[in-house]
Amino acid sequence: MMESPMVMENFVEIEGRWTDIEKIIKRSGPLASPDFVPDTTEAPTIKNGLQSDFKVLVIGAGGLGCEILKNLALSGFRNIDVIDMDTIDVSNLNRQFLFRRKDVGKSKAEVAAAFINKRVAGCKVTPYKCRIQEKDDDYYRQFKVIIAGLDSIEARRWINGLLVNLVVKDNEGNIDPLTVIPLIDGGTEGFKGQARVILPRITSCFECSLDSFPPQTKYAICTIANTPRVPEHCIQWALIFGLEDKSIPKPFDSKAFDNDNPQHMTWLFETAKKRAEEHKITGVTYKLTQGVAKNIIPAIASTNAIIAAATCNEAFKFCTESSGYLNNYMMYNGQSGVYTHTFEYEMKEGCAVCGTNIVTYAVEPKTTLSTLLEMLANDSQFQFKKPNLRSNGRNLYMQGILHESTVPNLEKTLEELGVGEGDEVTITDPSLPGSIAVRMRVNYKQTENK
């Protein structure tokens, strides 16, 4: 027989709902933090923190995000924000269980939030249908912890760089712990998954392990811009240059391009096809355009559930101090059984985000700027998407409105561009927050006489 409910804060709270959680927060144990103070009936400090004080941000409302939101709400968290720029597609319904067929075409964040708010009494999930880059620093400073359930390396790099940049140090280099916002990152691919805890400026950051990810297929910028040879070059041209070209009409804002939007993808296909026709290239199809524009990652519901549980478990431990947190990387493989392995990913010396930001590159004086760009594109430690290069107060190569004026530099050598021995080249990229830049110190190596 169901217990009688009691009324709290204008909603009906079922008596005994949080019994399992109270078993953890009302008693200590060997794994609890030294600062852990169990809740009492008279002073439910931890419970009140979960339900009132601790604000959590979930980035992504897809396969992982739906599971994460559900887990947080059922773990006692009531103050949750969720950001996702995507809309619901029919293909999402087999694993993103907060959505129904009637929701197809609607905002993932808004539908997911409405579902949780209706199902879990007292929980307030606030949705935002936007890009994470559209929020300012003050928005992110308000959260106790941030959980990322993303399928984009670029988005992970951006939020990682932002949180590293928010950490405040005093004149002696000591970190203000109140400015450290933990980032809990989850990711899945088929039967494989990973959960990771990142404490900005304390543990290794996401950028430290970037070279462990296989780099996406890259094409030389100069080839795409001037001498395309294959259909993929034309599609990349539409993505890189077509979106920025104001002379090419678009039925949408180029800054809001969404590769999940059929209208946007149709424009991309037609633009790439026209480019191909101009250069007498065949083979540009809508399917190929989709393949180049987006990486389709296989998803399995059970893997999402396991990884989401792992990330939410870490968030609960951070906020309650009921147990030590993960140090700092857990991988899971369910291909032929259940295998997990936990290890500490160490900070990378010279990391572009949490390190010195200076990377020394050995190049010949006659190296052209286009060759340098190709080297950077194929370097697994960077994986830049649309890099902008400056040196000695001069724009070497820029995207957007300055593209036309800097394209001629692609065929010039570094020597001709005035980049000398020991000079620094500042590189910015959309995958990094605006205030973060990689400084590449040029180190000329002399070609041996033969």
Sketch the domain layout of the chain as residue ranges: 6-213+299-343, 221-293, 358-444
pLDDT of 10 strictly over 50: yes
pLDDT of 3 strictly over 50: no
Q: Under DSSP, is residue 309 helix (H, G, I), strand (E, B) or coil?
A: helix
Q: Does residue 328 have a cis peptide bond before it, meaning omega lies within 30 degrees of 0?
A: yes
Degrees to nearest 5, angle at CA 185 with 179 and 190: 175
pLDDT of 414 strictly over 70: yes
Separation between Cα atoms, residue 387 and residue 288, nearest integer Å = 24
Specify the amino acid at residue 172.
E
Res 365: pLDDT: 77
Separation between Cα atoms, residue 300 and residue 302, nearest integer Å = 6
More confident residue, 356 or 385: 385
* Helix, strand, coil share of the chain (percent; to 5): 35, 20, 45
- The model carries a pTM of 0.72
Q: Under DSSP, is residue 83 helix (H, G, I), strand (E, B) or coil?
A: strand
Average pLDDT over residues 230-244: 88
Res 274: pLDDT: 93
Res 358: pLDDT: 65
Res 218: pLDDT: 59
- Of 66, 123, 222, 234, the active-site residue reads 222
Mean pLDDT is highest, among 192-201, 349-358, 420-429, for: 192-201
Mean pLDDT is highest, among 56-65, 242-251, 403-412, for: 56-65
Query: Average pLDDT over the chain, rounded to whole?
Result: 84
Q: Hey, how many other C-beta atoms are within 10 angstroms of the C-beta on 119?
A: 12
CATH 1.10.10.520 fits 221-293, yes or no: yes
Res 60: pLDDT: 94
Residue pLDDT, tens place only, 172-190: 888 999 999 999 999 998 8
Res 441: pLDDT: 60
CATH 3.40.50.720 fits 6-213+299-343, yes or no: yes
Separation between Cα atoms, residue 202 and residue 164, nearest integer Å = 9
Fold adopted by 358-444: 3.10.290
Please report, for the chain, how many H helices and E strands are present, in that order.
13, 15
DSSP letter string, 251-275: SS-GGG--TT-HHHHHHHHHHHHHH
Res 220: pLDDT: 62
Res 16: pLDDT: 79
More confident residue, 435 or 60: 60
Residue pLDDT, tens place only, 204-235: 999 888 777 765 555 666 678 778 888 989 99
222 is catalytic: yes
